[in-house]
Structure 1
Amino acid sequence: MPVAGVELLVRDIPDAQPDLPPALFVHGLGGSSLNWTALGLLLNGTIRGIAPDLPGFGRTPLQGATGIAEQAELLIQLLEREFDEPAHVFGNSMGGASSVALAAQRPDLVKSLTLVSPALPHPRVSASALWFTALATPRIGPAVLERTARLPFNQRFEASLALVFGDPRALAPEVRAAYEQELRRRDTDPWGRQATVEGARSILRSSLARRGRSLWADAARVECPVLLIYGGKDRLVDARIRMKAQRAFPNARLLYLPRSGHVAQMEHPDEVARAVRQLIESNPQLD
């Protein structure tokens, strides 16, 4: 569908009744709408929703800038187009950061916010921070991605599994197969490396923003109920930041999954779905 001059691929939650509350699912850097398949199916009796492939990812070509601010603006226009009431918004990683910016700018569009390993600025220097810094650096970032692309696919696939999931060996065979199929398809996208570099630069810029303009300042302005989900084996977002995140949002609850990695909605969808239902059921205004 055309949104803000961009041709977005958008998926629907199958078999959800049209009178259920609306929802929006936002994937992270290098992800796609397919990252929400399992959770969407588990919640199709609770919410109806859509999941876009953001520009440069999934099946949506790179069109314009792909930073956090641009994603938030695109999501605002998508929500205004698709729904006539506030939506439950779900965001993972960079998509979580964009969802925080969205909720801070347009609280009238967001009924609740579920954030899975959101890419909020971290005060500690970590391996993932150094990785994003390398990707965001001119010449170095493209060179790193180009060198990685030359590696045998199976080697890159196993490395990606180890980076994203807490325990790749425990993945259901169909999840592993779908993830492999998506990575093979992604290899054919001519815009993939540029989108990844631009996304990494946006995450780095957000970590360097002045205090009053940071994502933490945005978090303090989010008044809707928030569910924060962190994985103890997340190699991209340090779960030790979870307590600071819970304090930053005025109305937040926390789910910590010790065995989960960066995409808990894929790795432990039952636990995430249960927490989402509890969030909605404990807040009557969210029905």
Structure 2
Amino acid sequence: MESYAAVTGDGVPLGAQEWPARRVPVGGVDLLVRDAPGAATDLPPALFVHGLGGSSLNWTALGLLLNDTVRGMAPDLPGFGRTPLSGPAGISEQAAVLIQLLEQEVKRPVHLFGNSMGGASAVALAAQRPDLVTSLTLISPALPHPRVSASALWFAALATPRLGSVVLERSRRLPFDRRFQASLAMVFGDPRSLPPEVRAAYEAELRRRDTDPWVGQATLDGARSVLRSSLAPPRRSLWADAAKVECPVLLIYGGKDRLVDARIRTKAQRTFPNARLLYLPQSGHVAQMEHPEQVERAFRQLIS
């Protein structure tokens, strides 16, 4: 089985290498934006969008694998990573921030990548502004799902006034090691397959996140937005947006995903007009981190 232990000449796993970062004023906040190193300036641009609770670091390995083909850019969305919260942190607000970022920083359509809630925001962006998107790659996108799951109940609890704050506060009181192990089990299909350096980088980011004062509110806003999207009427739903996306779409689902039920992949492939599917039975919620080589190959096939 493949893992993402790919390394550079200095022996450091790709997933443990941070891209150079800069600050870009967008929508009243200074976004932290990372640029994939080593990519030629004349390559087609790519935008990588992380999910709820994630950051630009979720795309490190995949972006480096693709830096001979696209010029990657990955922001920390408001309220996540190293970008402070500047207002509501829902799907529509994220899409608006991303549109403004593209209009400011990129003068041509991008290959757009989105994971989880970032996938939902990417769908909204591609539906609203097809002129900005060349292709769309969605990894476990947070599209409305009819089946009630443990994660859906957790989102519902977070989205409930007062209850959500209580749930978050109780979680934060747990010892860090316990929360870290729970996060590994929830996000990755097989945490034991992670290279030690990558596991350490993931742990360090979670520890750093504990110090950010905006994390709780951003998490509540995101959970409420995901829940609202699942309750939207059909004509205003993300599925309606998906049906409008005409560019080539790559859908990636993991068989061990505990947050997005991979059984929705059939509906997703039917709904997007021009979609192909990659199903990874051993992957969890972040295939771009766990199996980046397979995601890389599928993307290259998509654009070829």
| TM-score category (smaller protein) | over 0.9
The residue aligned with 1:217 is 240
State the distance in 2 between where 1:172 and 1:272 align. Answer: 18
- The one-letter code sitting in structure 2 at the alignment partner of 1:91 is G
Instruction: Confirm or deny that 1:39 pairs with 2:62.
Output: yes
Structure 2 unaligned regions, length at least 5: 1-23
Q: 1:64 aligns with which of 79, 87, 108?
A: 87
Deviation at 1:134, TM superposition (A): 0.5
Deviation at 1:103, TM superposition (A): 0.1
Deviation at 1:165, TM superposition (A): 0.3
- The one-letter code sitting in structure 2 at the alignment partner of 1:228 is L
Name which of structure 1's ranges 109-118 and 76-85 shifts more when overlaid on structure 2: 76-85
State the distance in 2 between where 1:174 and 1:217 align. Answer: 41
The residue aligned with 1:99 is 122
Instruction: Confirm or deny that 1:251 pairs with 2:269.
Output: no
DSSP-derived class of the 2:137 partner: strand
Q: 2:170 aligns with which of 140, 144, 147?
A: 147
State the distance in 2 between where 1:194 and 1:232 align. Answer: 31
Instruction: Confirm or deny that 1:74 pairs with 2:117.
Output: no
Deviation at 1:201, TM superposition (A): 0.1
State the distance in 1 between where 2:268 and 2:124 align. Answer: 14
Instruction: Confirm or deny that 1:89 pairs with 2:112.
Output: yes
Aligned residues: 281
Q: 2:264 aligns with which of 225, 241, 249?
A: 241
Q: 1:194 aligns with which of 217, 220, 235?
A: 217
Deviation at 1:97, TM superposition (A): 0.1
Alpha-carbon deviations, 1:230-259, whole Å to 9, x = none? 000000000000010000100000000000
The residue aligned with 1:284 is none
Deviation at 1:174, TM superposition (A): 1.3
State the distance in 2 between where 1:128 and 1:50 align. Answer: 29
DSSP-derived class of the 1:247 partner: helix
Q: 1:128 aligns with which of 120, 137, 151?
A: 151
State the distance in 1 between where 2:99 and 2:75 align. Answer: 12
5 Å matches for 1:162-201?
Answer: 162-201=185-224
- The one-letter code sitting in structure 2 at the alignment partner of 1:243 is T
- The one-letter code sitting in structure 1 at the alignment partner of 2:162 is R
Q: Which runs of 4+ in 1 moved over 6 A?
A: none
Instruction: Confirm or deny that 1:51 pairs with 2:52.
Output: no
State the distance in 2 between where 1:135 and 1:20 align. Answer: 41
- The one-letter code sitting in structure 2 at the alignment partner of 1:187 is D
Query: TM-score, normalised to structure 2's length?
Result: 0.92
The residue aligned with 2:184 is 161
DSSP-derived class of the 2:63 partner: helix
- The one-letter code sitting in structure 2 at the alignment partner of 1:135 is L
Name which of structure 1's ranges 245-254 and 123-132 shifts more when overlaid on structure 2: 123-132
State the distance in 1 between where 2:266 and 2:198 align. Answer: 30
State the distance in 2 between where 1:157 and 1:74 align. Answer: 30
State the distance in 1 between where 2:229 and 2:290 align. Answer: 27
